[in-house]
Structure 1
Amino acid sequence: MNIFITAFLLAFIYDIASVGSIKTNYIRHHLGSRTPYRFIANKNDTRIKYPNCKDSKIYMVTRHGTRLPSRKDIAAVPQLVKLKYEILLQHEQGKGQLTDEQLNSFKDWKTSFNTEEESYLTLEGRDEMILLAERMQKRFPNAIKQRYSNKTFLFRYTATQRAQQSARYFTNGLFEKKETQDIIFAPATKVDPVLRFYKHCDRWLTQVKRNPETYKETKLFSNSHDMNKTLESISHKLGLNRVLEFDTVNLMYKYCGYETSWDKHHISPWCYAFDERSIQMFEYYHDLRAYWLDGYGHELTYRQACLLMKNMFEYFGKERGYRSVFLFSHSGAVLKILTHLKLFKPPSPLKGDQIVKDREWRLSEIDSFAANLAFVLFKCKDGDHVLTLHQEKIIKLPMCEQELCPLEHLKEYFHESLSNCDYTDMCSLDSNVTKSKEEKTSL
């Protein structure tokens, strides 16, 4: 009994240390797409087996690991440096609600980035990839062999440093060091209709991403009475004589996520600005934005993911060729394919008039750094079946009766969307070409 109690206490202490103190432990649940994968990873790597079945192939899409900030966020660092000194000065005058420990964290805080390293993979991102690969191989040893062969393994990544390095460190988790030197990676291309199908889809860029209507609900939320009260509360907690603007606090929220992700043992001082309610406000803002930009807000957004689904079915349908396909992409691709599969769909569209607290569409859980979706083909006595895992956890697809879903059933269900899955037609700005396609294709 004492051994179990000791183990529990050690785990509990480490859990607290990993995000600062027990008073800020809620932070880890609300970091949105900047959530480190270690907070949600499924550490149980026991082999997954089904009676009269054998894992045969795997097709896995993984978001890159924890990264450095974007160029835009790096350029905004001087704002935070100036704000840091303002907070410290106000507390010296007896204003604000930060503790001595929190103030010391602000005093020690400094950061400098080379803009040429924007969005680069971090050390934490490397660890995420290595450990993810090791666990997946243990679960499916037949589909993911321990010996590398360029005839059975395919590794693809987008033309970005973070995706390329994620792929390389993933292979470090699969194979011996001497083998990783011989791995052949598929050439990255600027235009990639499988891994980043939305990036050069002119119609989607025009009608969704650059369309002001896409951001109507997020704008409504960021200007709402509740958000204004939140900004006042945060500013008061920091001891400021003014109310911070939304963009400034949003930047603080981003760095709270970035810096907490990079460091396993410390929480970013910018997290101290938030209490449980205020951080949920900013979490919802980003969930809302992703819902309308990358999720269920527009049909064309998730229709595009048919390109990736089509690719998966093609690999599963071949008797010979690759057994293990690993693709390294981005948040936008992962969210769109999750939506194409009808996963994490709210009962009604997310709106900006109030927070939907019990929503399934929560980036902190579904779109963390290193977020992943895996399809595993099982050869069974009664035919081929597909097992789906999200964040390494087995999930039942909405269109399937069981977790292990017949391959033919999935093909039949997605037949219409796949038969109307032409990149040129979907992404052309010629309305005469695309209108009929959109009317036919509906999920």
Structure 2
Amino acid sequence: MLRGPPRLLKVSVAPVAALAVALLSSLSRCSLLEPDDPAASALSPYFGTKTRYEDANPGLLPDPEAPRRDPELLEDACTPVQLVALIRHGTRYPTAKQIRKLRQLHGLLQARPSGDGRAGPAGGRDLGAALADWPLWYADWMDGQLVEKGRQDMRQLALRLASLFPALFSLENYGRLQLVTSSKHRCVDSGAAFLQGLWEHYHPGLPPPDVADMECGPPRINDKLMRFFDHCEKFLTEVEKNATALYHVEAFKTGPEMQNILKKVAATLQVPVNNLNADLIQVAFFTCSFDLAIKGVKSPWCDVFDIDDAKVLEYLNDLKQYWKRGYGYTINSRSSCTLFQDIFQHLDKAIEQKQRTLEVLLRSFLTSSHPDGSCR
């Protein structure tokens, strides 16, 4: 699931190449979709950062540890010198705030009069009743933590990258690897799982040790680099703590598109429309994605929405990210300059090392071929 603090992976490859930076960011993705689940698979493209990785990349389904090779990018003439990647954390639980909203919505369903519309058109139980009885298994302690599926996401990613770039991820370079992460627990845990995946690559069949005992060491926390937006005073003042910064988002929540969904959901669940709001509708939509991601099940929450609803809810989420993290305000991008400067400094250093090595090799060749310095 996608917006949260990143992680930085750094490896020096001796002496020429370096795996300089891999930023493992925040929120999560999800688990294997039931192949006969047309409703869930139809909604999946609209979950945004809550989309399961294998839904976004179906090539992971046959073999999630096998890299997908692009022959045009991996010609023999192309030698990787450095790998720079900004990578999101693995699948996570909902946040405590999302869980409280879901509990509020679940309470509305359970509070419906016992005889109110419990029979559906075909005599079966209605969707509201099914959701009232659907187990609410989320607890506040989960609060966005990485789930086991998220650890698997990161281990498999490490295995794919190590297979795709064997020269960079050689065993001799393993000790030079440095993973830098934000202090968010899901990011720290994702970084640890990534390192465990590399251990499996180097030592197949052997259980990985604690990351603190690995040669490369555990992920190093650096919030100033990875959560740069929390350290930019202008961003905090003009956007994060500005009550009017997201006024476009609030306007859309009360606009006709969202109001139509509110009325539709209220009728479907048979609850008063005045008891619903855009935030509750959005958390219901994401609960479909969380159940699918974490447990691999299609819950009744998926049946509340159709594709048209999903498009509107996807837009609402995108609109918030546009104004809070994207192009909406100039300071949003400028606040990331520290991170980008760090990335490009590592790229420049790798190029300089490569050029110096080539110059040394060339001088060595000329000296050994022509000791007197003359051409023959």
Tell me whether the two structures share a fold, i.e. TM-score over 0.5.
yes
Q: 1:127 aligns with which of 152, 158, 166?
A: 152
Q: Give the TM-score normalised by structure 2.
A: 0.72
In 2: Cα distance, 1:131 partner to 1:98 partner = 46
1:251 aligns with 2:268: no
Aligned to 1:32: 48
Q: Give the TM-score normalised by structure 1.
A: 0.62
Question: Per chain length, whose mean CA-contact separation is higher, i.e. which structure has more relative contact order (CA < 8 Å, sep 6+)?
Answer: 1
Aligned to 2:261: 230
Aligned to 1:110: 136
Does the 8 A contact of 2:93 with 2:144 survive in 1? yes
Q: 2:229 aligns with which of 198, 203, 207?
A: 198
1:203 to 1:269, Cα distance in 2 relative to 1, 3 A: same
User: Shift of residue 293 of structure 1?
Assistant: 0.7
Does the 8 A contact of 1:71 with 1:119 survive in 2? yes
In 2: Cα distance, 1:105 partner to 1:97 partner = 18
Letter in structure 1 aligned against 2:258 = M
Does the 8 A contact of 1:28 with 1:39 survive in 2? yes
In 2: Cα distance, 1:178 partner to 1:95 partner = 53
1:271 to 1:303, Cα distance in 2 relative to 1, 3 A: same
In 1: Cα distance, 2:292 partner to 2:39 partner = 15
Q: SS of 1:257's equivalent?
A: helix
Aligned to 1:269: 300
Q: 1:59 aligns with which of 84, 89, 95?
A: 84
- Tell me the alpha carbon deviations over residues 328-382 of structure 1, each in whole angstroms, 9 at most, x when there is no partner: xxxxxxxxxxxxxxxxxxxxxxxxxxxxxxxxxxxxxxxxxxxxxxxxx999x9x
Aligned to 2:372: none
Does the 8 A contact of 2:32 with 2:54 survive in 1? no
In 2: Cα distance, 1:139 partner to 1:159 partner = 29
Does the 8 A contact of 2:229 with 2:235 survive in 1? yes
Aligned residue pairs total: 307
1:97 to 1:301, Cα distance in 2 relative to 1, 3 A: farther
Aligned to 1:260: 292
In 1: Cα distance, 2:174 partner to 2:251 partner = 53
Does the 8 A contact of 1:46 with 1:138 survive in 2? no
In 2: Cα distance, 1:316 partner to 1:159 partner = 25
Aligned to 1:418: none
In 2: Cα distance, 1:23 partner to 1:112 partner = 23
Aligned to 1:291: 322
User: Shift of residue 90 of structure 1?
Assistant: 6.5
1:166 aligns with 2:202: no
User: Shift of residue 156 of structure 1?
Assistant: 1.2
Larger mean Cα displacement after TM superposition, 171-180 or 21-30:
171-180
Does the 8 A contact of 2:67 with 2:163 survive in 1? yes
In 2: Cα distance, 1:278 partner to 1:214 partner = 25
Does the 8 A contact of 2:253 with 2:278 survive in 1? yes
Does the 8 A contact of 2:44 with 2:55 survive in 1? yes
Aligned to 1:279: 310
User: Shift of residue 225 of structure 1?
Assistant: 1.6
Identity of aligned residues (%): 21
1:302 aligns with 2:327: no
Letter in structure 2 aligned against 1:121 = L
Aligned to 2:96: 71
Aligned to 1:6: none
Does the 8 A contact of 2:120 with 2:126 survive in 1? no
User: Shift of residue 129 of structure 1?
Assistant: 0.6
User: Shift of residue 247 of structure 1?
Assistant: 2.5
What root-mean-square deviation, in Å, do the aligned CA atoms of Structure 1 and Structure 2 show?
3.3
1:97 to 1:314, Cα distance in 2 relative to 1, 3 A: farther
Mind listing any 5+ residue stretches in structure 2 that lack a counterpart?
1-30, 61-65, 359-376
Pairwise mapping of residues 14-53 of structure 1 onto structure 2 (< 5 A)? 17=34, 21-41=37-57, 43=60, 45-47=67-69, 49-53=74-78
Letter in structure 1 aligned against 2:47 = L
1:75 to 1:83, Cα distance in 2 relative to 1, 3 A: same
Larger mean Cα displacement after TM superposition, 294-303 or 67-76:
67-76
Does the 8 A contact of 1:67 with 1:119 survive in 2? yes
In 2: Cα distance, 1:21 partner to 1:105 partner = 18
Letter in structure 2 aligned against 1:173 = G
Q: SS of 1:76's equivalent?
A: helix
Q: 2:346 aligns with which of 312, 315, 324?
A: 315
1:173 to 1:16, Cα distance in 2 relative to 1, 3 A: closer
1:159 to 1:90, Cα distance in 2 relative to 1, 3 A: farther
- Structure with the greater alpha carbon radius of gyration: 2
- Tell me the alpha carbon deviations over residues 206-244 of structure 1, each in whole angstroms, 9 at most, x when there is no partner: 111222342121111111122211111121122335453
1:156 aligns with 2:180: yes
1:37 to 1:160, Cα distance in 2 relative to 1, 3 A: same
Does the 8 A contact of 2:131 with 2:301 survive in 1? no
Mind listing any 5+ residue stretches in structure 1 that lack a counterpart?
1-13, 324-376, 382-443
Q: SS of 1:198's equivalent?
A: helix
Letter in structure 2 aligned against 1:157 = T
In 2: Cα distance, 1:130 partner to 1:149 partner = 15
User: Shift of residue 31 of structure 1?
Assistant: 1.0
Aligned to 1:141: 166
User: Shift of residue 201 of structure 1?
Assistant: 1.4
Q: Structure 1 segments of 4 or more deviating over 6 A?
A: 96-99
User: Shift of residue 194 of structure 1?
Assistant: 1.8
User: Shift of residue 139 of structure 1?
Assistant: 1.5
Letter in structure 1 aligned against 2:51 = T
